[in-house]
Structure 1
């Protein structure tokens, strides 16, 4: 086998198998990074809210302070519910984006493989 054929086979192997695998891994790593960052952001927001609530509770010194604290809890609960909804929407959006991009990648790879197979059958 000569060097030209070996280089051509290596290139075909890379185009057919390795390049699509690298592209899918890149997509997967990007998706994982976005999901981890979203989870870390949400976790920090919930933790900060919890700590702020504990600090606020520590400042309660009388019945009026307790009443005020309890009233503020309705707003906190509302904000947390809105945050949770926003976080869930973000995760769904990231998942949909990943699915669409991976489907497109798969379609492109199938087309490329069909084209390569067609060329190989014509030269054979």
Structure 2
């Protein structure tokens, strides 16, 4: 995470700390937002930056919240992830560096992308 002055262990739940700060992954179909359908905006749990609109969320059947595009391209930082013997694209909050999940090229139109995001890395605002 970028901001070393914040004690993330005191701000986040243990699971959110593991995901956002240690690049962990929550179990599929267990997070608060995988089947969430309210209208609003999903924000970074760490810094409250708005990341995704609910009208870009779709059911990918993977057990994690999936979006076909971020609110603005500038809110997401992408980097190559070669952990676990795979080559993937990790997505992070550009404001604070929190790990959010990964993006895959198997999403719906118009982008063809699937931002597969951990629920614990998000909050929701109506």
Short-chain TM bin: under 0.3
Larger RCO, structures 1/2 (Cα 8 Å, 6+ apart): 1
Which protein shows a greater Rg?
1
Q: Which has the higher strand share?
A: 2
Normalising by structure 2, we get a TM-score of 0.17
Q: Which has the higher helix share?
A: 1
Normalising by structure 1, we get a TM-score of 0.18
